[in-house]
Structure 1
Amino acid sequence: MSILPQSTPAAVPAGARPLGEGPFLAPGAQIDWHYRKPGWQPGEPSTITPMRVVRDDERGLVAWLAPGTLQEGQGAPDGQRVRSVPLERRWLEPRTRIVEEWWGNGILRIAPAGAAWSVWLFWSDVTGAEWEFAGWYVNLENAHLRTDHDTYTSDHILDVEIDASGGIHLKDEDEVIAAIDQGRLSAEQAAQIERHADAAIVSFREGDWPFDAEWRDWRPDPEWTVPQLAGLDDLATP
């Protein structure tokens, strides 16, 4: 269950449906993954990442973010990435729309239907035939609502990192504190997010899907091209 305000007609297109409800996309199709702030209005900054569908069915969405992918991002007032804004003002400064390149190796993102998180799988070395699995990253967020070719959520700031050996720790707890101080979250919302983190950790320890072994050994189709996001030519590049 998600705890931040879910979609309004402006934030998500009319007719958007939860993940796990068809029609579904075939493997290799492009889907654009949106992160929008609560109460987002058309024209406001968001993060939009074009990805290739790996699996789209009743369990949820599995998608591949390829190295070198250009995405729409949320920038600071000077056009730099948001993390250039000091933490004590990060949710007070206005944001701009920018182009960002996904650096490093690709990642596999899995959004289980109805869950208040998505699971990201990382590999530290993808240059040879045998990839080196680096671990899971649990991004706490609203349960997704999607249209045929887009999926929408809102980031919950706090995250969980799980290394390949099963070591667990929370990430960005300092950002949650700053978000409360700056009015981005209430203390009650932050407490619920922490409970979602606890639930995700339990899910991992119990070996629930998608934490099972299936996805650690997954590889992208070598024929896939890097998907293109429309409208990037109109945005600033840091």
Structure 2
Amino acid sequence: MSILPHSTPAAVPDGVRAMGEGPFLQPGDQIDWHYRKPGWQPGDASTITPMRVVRDDARGLVAWLAPGTLQEGQGTPAGERVRTVPLERRWLEPRTRIVEEWWGNGILRIAPAGAAWSVWLFWSEVSGPDWQFAGWYVNLENAHLRTDRDTYSSDHILDVEIEPDGRISLKDEDELVAAIAQGRLTREQAAQIERHADAAIESFHSGEWPFDPRWQAWRPDPSWTMPELTGLSDLRRP
């Protein structure tokens, strides 16, 4: 499991296990995907996304985020989404719990066991069986810890974008710099995140299973209903 040095792993329930250790869920089961800051405590804001399991086994978790899914998100006391907060104060603002809808097309998320990232597949056009693959988004994060129905990680801010033709670029480098300046990360932690980015890029070049082209042809089961997260009615809408 990869956890940044000098940081506290995201607080998780008792009895968690590493990703890739059973018991496993079946395709179509709901799993709630949590992102919590290091040192999270009950009542703190987090991101919780209800998803449908595509595959859950020793290699890791594959789950589907359907368009229109309601999720718990992180906002400011004024009700703004965190992404809209100016960068010069983004990591200084206190965060509150909000409810938000996942907009756009769905996303297939793949969390390999023991990896400090998850791989997200995007599609720009979705029409019947003919979907237009838009590329991979590698979300750098702590290796996941699991309970039977939930998985927990902590986001690492920097990300990797990979175009369908294989072109690679880093995303949110400016946010990483701001996170250091505002005390969210140390320089040593940021350096380790950059090493994780290099390892994820190598995983892509090696053709490891999250980047298997067959995932681009995957489609959700049309019988799946929208997963639901409890407690959303108690949260503020931005």
Does the TM-score normalized on the shorter chain lie above 0.5? Answer: yes
Q: Is the 8 A contact 1:3 1:193 kept in 2?
A: no
Gaps of 5+ in 2: none
Residue 149 of structure 1, CA deviation: 0.2
AA at the equivalent of 1:173: E
The root-mean-square deviation of aligned C-alpha atoms, in Å, is 0.9
Scaled by the length of structure 2, the TM-score of the pair is 0.97
Tell me the alpha carbon deviations over residues 104-132 of structure 1, each in whole angstroms, 9 at most, x when there is no partner: 00000000000000000001111232111
Specify the alignment match of 1:12 in structure 2: 12
**SS of the residue aligned with 1:210?**
helix
Q: How many angstroms apart in 1 are the aligned matches of 2:8 and 2:48?
A: 18
1:133-212 equivalences in 2 (<5 Å): 133-212=133-212
Instruction: Tell me if 1:84 matches 2:63.
Output: no
Report the identity percentage.
Answer: 79
Q: How many angstroms apart in 2 are the aligned matches of 1:3 and 1:221?
A: 34
1:23-38 equivalences in 2 (<5 Å): 23-38=23-38
Q: How many angstroms apart in 2 are the aligned matches of 1:50 and 1:202?
A: 30
Specify the alignment match of 1:65 in structure 2: 65
Specify the alignment match of 1:106 in structure 2: 106
Q: How many angstroms apart in 1 are the aligned matches of 2:26 and 2:203?
A: 27
Show structure 1 runs of 4+ deviating over 4 A: none
AA at the equivalent of 1:145: L
Scaled by the length of structure 1, the TM-score of the pair is 0.97
Gaps of 5+ in 1: none
**SS of the residue aligned with 1:88?**
helix
Q: Is the 8 A contact 1:33 1:50 kept in 2?
A: yes
Residue 76 of structure 1, CA deviation: 1.3
Q: Is the 8 A contact 2:20 2:59 kept in 1?
A: yes
Residue 56 of structure 1, CA deviation: 0.2
Q: How many angstroms apart in 2 are the aligned matches of 1:82 and 1:7?
A: 21
Q: Is the 8 A contact 1:108 1:120 kept in 2?
A: yes
Residue 7 of structure 1, CA deviation: 3.6
